[in-house]
Structure formats: structure tokens, C-alpha cells
Amino acid sequence: MNRSTAIHHRVRNVKRSTSFEGYFKVRQYTLEHRTHEGDWTPPIQREVFERGHVAIVLPYDPWQDTVVLVEQFRIGAYAAGLEPWLTEPVAGTIEPGESAEEVAHREAMEEAGCTLTEMESIGTVLMSPGSCTETAAMFCARVDSRELGGIHGLAHEDEDIKARVVPVKEAFAQLESGHISNGYSVIPLQWLALNRARLRTIWS
């Protein structure tokens, strides 16, 4: 079932139309939902941005105590008036028929030239549920970082991605200073801060 049209007993009279369809889609929903006091709202109209679902993976080397992060231009940050070259984990869109784990392995090779071995799920999160259907399945994966780094990405997708091997303490410092500000980066790094000692024990 399409996640955006899932049936829920507290939602009724759903009407959906497409306002825009290009690289992404914008859907317009009209619906009624139960209030906290048990009544029904009048018909409300909302526009929803649909861009698919993604997999995020933070490659971690427990031997060197490093992470592999990528840097690339992000149009959303540019349009928001922020620094547009963001430091992030590896990420990619989940295409029909793919699992999140398959995407994590594929994107790790495409964006950073690395092979993932052990992998742990961090969880699946909604980043902006007030306006967007996108979910992110997040992972942390073991990697040997000694020969990694450099420029990667697919030319036919106009990707220009710089992969860097970063000491974990440096990555945490960038997180604390606000240099790393993308939610898809903050969550995996904070998860690693909580689980780092355990991973170094079981993955080493």
C-alpha cells in the first residue's frame, strides 16, 4: 500500500489530486480527521511534497575510529540562504523493488567507493511530516577506511561528491559547532556517539 494513502480510522473523506509532477511531485489532499475531543474537523486542504523514500548510511571504521562523510552541493540549503556544500553520510533514493539495505550498499560504492560489511539499523525517521512524505531508513555500517577518499558520483546524474575520512572526534566537534547541520547527518552521528564503544567491541 502507498504509505501516503494508508487507510486510518481517524481520517475520512480523503480526496487527492496532483498539483505538480516533475522531478518531484506535489499532491493536494482534502480530508477530515478526528479532533482530540472526538469530533470531526471541517474539510481541510493541505499540499504535500512527495520525493520518495531514502536510505542513509554512516560508514564507520572501528579500527581507525573514523567515519566516511561526503560533501556535495544541496539546492535546498542554497535556496534557504545557507551554506550549500553540506557534509553528510552516504544517502540515496530507494527505487521501486529495492530494499533500504540494498540502497545503502549501492550508494556507499557510488558516493564513497567503499564496501560495507556489518550493518546496524538506526531506525526510520520522518524529517518534515507537516509537509513531506519522505522517510529515511538509517544505518551505521562497518568499513575499512584506510584507502578511501576522493571524488565520486555518477556523471549522468551530475553528481560531484567529495568523500573524506574523518576522525570520529573531529566529526563530533563539527556536529557540536553546527558545521554539520543536516538532520540526516545529525541523527546518525548522535547515534554513533551513543553506540561507539559497543561497536568498537563487537566490530573489532
Span 25-79, pLDDT tens digits: 999 999 999 999 999 999 999 999 988 899 999 999 999 999 999 999 988 889 9
Looking at the structure, tell me whether residues 96 and 36 fall in a common domain.
no
The tens digit of pLDDT for each residue in 94-118 reads: 999 999 999 999 999 999 999 999 9
Q: Is 157 annotated in the active site?
A: yes
Whether the model pTM is above 0.95: no
Q: Which of 21, 111, 157, 176 is catalytic?
A: 157
User: Does any domain span residue 154?
Assistant: yes
Nearest CA-CA partner of 192 in 177, 163, 172 = 172
Q: Is the pLDDT of residue 125 over 50?
A: yes
Same domain, 99 and 22: no
d(CA 154, CA 142): 24
| Shared-domain flag, residues 46 and 122 | no
Overall number of domains in the chain: 2
Which residues, at least 6 apart from 121, have a Cβ–Cβ distance to it below 8 Å? 137, 138, 139
Domain-embedded: residue 1: no
Same domain, 43 and 77: no
